[in-house]
Amino acid sequence: MNPRFGVFDRYGGRFVSELLAPALEALASAVDELLASPDFRRRLRRELRTWAGRPTPLTHVPRFSDRCRLDVHLKREDLLHGGAHKTNNVVGQALLAKELGKRRLIAETGAGQHGVATAMAGARQGLAVVVYMGAVDAARQRPNVDRMRLCGAEVRLVESGGATLKEAIDEALRDWVQSVDDTHYVLGTVCGPDPYPRFVAELQRVIGDEARAQILRATGSLPDAIAACVGGGSNSLGLFRAFLVDDVVIFGVEAAGRDTRTGGHGMTLQHGRPGLLHGARSYVLQGNDGQIGDTHSIAAGLDYPGVGPEHAMLHDRGRVRYVGANDAEALAAFDALTRDEGILPALESSHALAFAMNAVERGQLRAGQRLLVNLSGRGDKDLATVIGSRRP
């Protein structure tokens, strides 16, 4: 069942109901047209600069580097408006929704960052916003639920199944099939049916383009390696896309959760197999029959049984090395960066930092090598989880 639309080798496609075919067709045409339009690119750049705060800085972190025995530089997407890279995608999609004449935005959210970004962009553009969020995620990312509501968004809690990101996407797709006339579905990651994976990756590529120029300016050369956490895979792909043809080792860090043997993790590429989930063929954590698997990660944004089809391609081609960091390692990395550098990373981003802390010891990098890590979001939303994890 190889895909025909939006193909990344054997992955991608539009595996959705025929009832969504006209909407995806219209969306794909609009995406092609807008991405080729200098005027759209100009408006997007202006909005990212004047409203969202781009470019974000590149920060050298010497104390954290010593701890890692590496030379670590952080791309600071935590400083983007809203507190994570999600805003890059949402600004573009909100402009697209206006072009398409839509009046309402819907979104799914795991960690809440994509929901917050959509709520903010909706307020800014005068569009109504409904965000679907798993009830488990809403409980552990409470500040983000409040932020969405304060921006005027309606947050609908999803109670079914594991009540996390997978269920939120299920429910957003069900809303969209009914509301497609006046509603644009702002998918938050590089998953979903074509054209979402390529559109979202293109909108996130600004991370990598900036970071590549910044590190060249700061150090005079490309880094030896780059790393980012991978849930659905949008912050990582945004970084990776700018380095794919370079002589740079690329690491994608999946959530090893509690236990990789009993299924309490989100290591879709390392422990899943190809399947069809949420509109695309990609790697999927699933049972023998194809029932979608349960996942666990301390980071809501990585607690997902799927991954974008472009990552599946990069995995099969061997261009990106996918590795894991578990809950405890992520918490340790959160502490380390906070104490060493005064930067509170999101628990999702803490997985990429955990990789940095362990890479030399595990033989994945050599001492002294230069590593660029995407700090995809800030950790304010995670304080309850972090502080809770310290109680005896």
Q: Is 102 among the residues known to form the active site? A: no
Minimum CB separation of residue 23 from other proteins in Å reads: 9
Per DSSP, the three-state class of 349 is helix
Backbone angles phi, psi at 129, to 5 degrees: -130, 130
Lookup result for tokens 């398409």: 100
15 binds other proteins (CB under 8 A): yes
| Region of 122-130, 174-182, 311-319, 364-372 interacting with other proteins (CB under 8 A) | 174-182
Asked, as a colleague might, if the bond just before 274 is cis with ω within 30 of 0, I would say no
Among 86, 102, 166, 381, the one annotated catalytic: 86
Backbone angles phi, psi at 372, to 5 degrees: -105, 120
| Region of 15-23, 83-91, 237-245, 262-270 interacting with other proteins (CB under 8 A) | 15-23
Q: Is 75 among the residues known to form the active site? A: no
3-state secondary structure 102-131: CCEEEEEECCCHHHHHHHHHHHHHCCEEEE
178 binds other proteins (CB under 8 A): yes
Tokens of 298: 């301390």
247 binds other proteins (CB under 8 A): no
Task: From 203, 199, 206, select the one nearest 30 (Cα to Cα).
Answer: 199
Specify the residue, 292 or 299, whose C-beta has the smaller distance to other proteins: 292
| Region of 14-22, 106-114, 212-220, 295-303 interacting with other proteins (CB under 8 A) | 14-22
Angle formed at CA 231 by CA 362 and CA 366, multiple of 5 degrees? 20
Reported as half-sphere exposure (CB side, CA atoms, 13 A), residue 373 has a value of 31
Minimum CB separation of residue 202 from other proteins in Å reads: 22
| Region of 171-179, 235-243, 308-316, 349-357 interacting with other proteins (CB under 8 A) | 171-179
Minimum CB separation of residue 295 from other proteins in Å reads: 12
Minimum CB separation of residue 290 from other proteins in Å reads: 3
Cβ burial of 306 (10 Å; 0-12, 13-18, 19+) is buried
Minimum CB separation of residue 259 from other proteins in Å reads: 21
* Interface of this chain with other proteins, residues 26 to 55, rule: CB under 8 A: none
Tokens of 164: 């996390």
Among 297, 341, 376, 381, the one annotated catalytic: 376
State which of residues 53, 57, 161, 368 lies at the interface with other proteins (CB under 8 A).
Answer: 161
* Interface of this chain with other proteins, residues 276 to 335, rule: CB under 8 A: 276-279, 281, 284, 286, 288-292
State which of residues 77, 137, 170, 210 lies at the interface with other proteins (CB under 8 A).
Answer: 170
* Cα 125 from chain centre: 23
Q: Is 348 among the residues known to form the active site? A: no
State which of residues 26, 150, 177, 218 lies at the interface with other proteins (CB under 8 A).
Answer: 177
Lookup result for tokens 């750049």: 45
Minimum CB separation of residue 186 from other proteins in Å reads: 17
Interior/surface letters 59-85, b for 16+ CB within 10 angstroms, e for the rest: bebeebbebbbbbbbbbbbbbbbbbbb
Asked, as a colleague might, if the bond just before 195 is cis with ω within 30 of 0, I would say yes
Q: Which residues contact 8 (CB under 8 A, 6 or more apart)?
A: 197, 309, 310, 312, 313
174 binds other proteins (CB under 8 A): yes
Rounded Cα distance, 168 and 298, in Å: 17
Minimum CB separation of residue 178 from other proteins in Å reads: 4
* Interface of this chain with other proteins, residues 251 to 280, rule: CB under 8 A: 274-279
Residue 171 near residue 108 (C-beta atoms within 8 A): yes
User: How many residues line the site for other proteins (CB under 8 A)?
Assistant: 37
188 binds other proteins (CB under 8 A): no
Minimum CB separation of residue 12 from other proteins in Å reads: 10
Among 108, 167, 171, 341, the one annotated catalytic: 108
The strand order across the sheet containing 154-158 reads 154-158, 128-134, 104-109, 183-185
Query: In the complex, which residues of this chain contact other proteins (CB under 8 A)?
Result: 1-5, 13-19, 21-22, 160-161, 166, 170, 173-174, 177-178, 180, 274-279, 281, 284, 286, 288-292
- Catalytically active residues are 86, 108, 376
